[in-house]
Homo-oligomer: A and B are copies of this chain.
Amino acid sequence: VKKLNITISDIAKELGVTPSTVSRALSNSPRVNEKTRKRIQAAALKMGYQQNVMAASLRKGTSGSIGMIVPRINRHFFSNAVSGVERIVNPAGYNLLIYQTEESYAKEVEGINTFLKNRVAGIIISLATETQDFSHLQSLVDRGVPLVQFDRVNGDIAGPKIVNDNFNGGYLAVKHLIKAGFKRIAHLTGATHMNVYRDRMNGYIEALKDHGIAFDPAMVFDNAITRESGIEAVSKILETKPDAIFCAGDYAALGVMEELKRLKITIPSQMGLAGLANEPFSEMISPSLTTVELNAFEIGNRAANALIQMLEKTEYVMNHTEIVPVRLIVRESSVRQPMVLLNEKL
């Protein structure tokens, strides 16, 4: 049986040098002879040495890991945001710890505590739906832990925030519905304490105003962002006699579509429909769903870059908000004339 973990002292003994020299050689310090460096690196490789980063970080006072907290990784948006962060932080020499909150405030706090215990270099977070108290974030800032928020953010906490252009997402979707001939547009939104849904709704309102349509609060339904809540909301929506529905998320739109089909209300001829998020299924369902694409990977990139900047220049805390553009994707659910006419040219 092999020795389980080789240390620099093992290598030092083997080669008749001291641990300090080995340390220097392995970290490519210039303060070591070229020849001995080669010799040491060769021995390290042969002996299967793997640096003990816990010891190194303990000594250096800072770890090489970054913590990322997301509601759940099985959502298209978040898994791509994670990949976007990895693409930046891994080459920069950090490794990423991921924590899922499953929309729970308690888990969010737990995740932050886990990260603190692990002395992560910084934290990237998108808030849980449940989260309405932000003292856990404030305490991070107070401790001097670099913090970047993305997507679901709280404006009162200092530090960079990277968000989708949710306002424009709502605006573009509703403007499109209006141009497509719909006049009474209902809106399904999420929990209105969250920036993402508030902003999308404001875009909806602004688009109505800009096209001379009166905003009717009775046509807005909140806490309806899942497939199930979309299904349930339909009967109430129909009471307001809409000719189209704009959902703040694709899952809600999916539920709405299913329920409308069940009620034999055809889309888009009897009811226009648009979602937001461009979930993978939205192009596969029938009719395909008009929606707004979010660039999750780009958001991950930017969040990671902002964090790395904070880590490298510790002078001051940046406090800006980056708004990442979104893109309207028109599909069958909102276009009354046959799609072939639109797609013929492609």
Binding site for B on A (CB under 8 A): 1-2, 4-5, 48, 50-55, 57-58, 63, 65, 72-74, 76, 79-80, 82-83, 86, 95-100, 113-114, 116-119, 139, 142-144, 254, 280-281, 284-286
A-B contact pairs, 29 of them (CB 8 A): A1-B144, A4-B143, A4-B144, A48-B143, A50-B116, A50-B117, A52-B58, A53-B117, A54-B54, A54-B55, A54-B118, A72-B83, A73-B73, A73-B74, A73-B82, A73-B83, A74-B76, A74-B79, A74-B80, A79-B79, A86-B100, A95-B99, A96-B98, A97-B97, A98-B98, A281-B281, A281-B284, A284-B284, A284-B285
Inter-chain contacts of A144 with B (CB < 8 A): 1, 4
Inter-chain contacts of A116 with B (CB < 8 A): 50
Closest chain B residue, CB of each to CB of A283: B281
Chain A binding site: helix, strand, loop or mixed by DSSP? mixed
Inter-chain contacts of A50 with B (CB < 8 A): 113, 116-117
Inter-chain contacts of A2 with B (CB < 8 A): 142-143
* A94 CB to nearest chain B CB (Å): 10
Residue pair B95, A52 in contact (C-beta under 8 Å): no
Residue pair A54, B48 in contact (C-beta under 8 Å): no
Q: Which 9 A-B pairs have the closest CB atoms?
A: A74-B79, A50-B116, A54-B54, A286-B286, A53-B117, A281-B281, A98-B98, A284-B285, A54-B58
Residue pair B76, A119 in contact (C-beta under 8 Å): no
Residue pair A52, B119 in contact (C-beta under 8 Å): yes
- Which of B5, B95, B284 lies in contact with A97, CB distance below 8 A? B95
Inter-chain contacts of A97 with B (CB < 8 A): 95, 97-98
Closest chain B residue, CB of each to CB of A74: B79
Residue pair A117, B63 in contact (C-beta under 8 Å): no
* A301 CB to nearest chain B CB (Å): 15
Inter-chain contacts of A143 with B (CB < 8 A): 2, 4-5, 48
Residue pair B286, A52 in contact (C-beta under 8 Å): no
Beyond known contacts A2-B142, A254-B284: 15 more, CB 8 A cutoff:
A5-B119, A48-B139, A50-B113, A51-B117, A52-B117, A52-B119, A53-B119, A54-B118, A73-B73, A83-B100, A86-B100, A95-B99, A95-B114, A98-B98, A281-B284
* A93 CB to nearest chain B CB (Å): 11
* A72 CB to nearest chain B CB (Å): 8
Give bound CA distance, A286 to B332, whole Å.
14
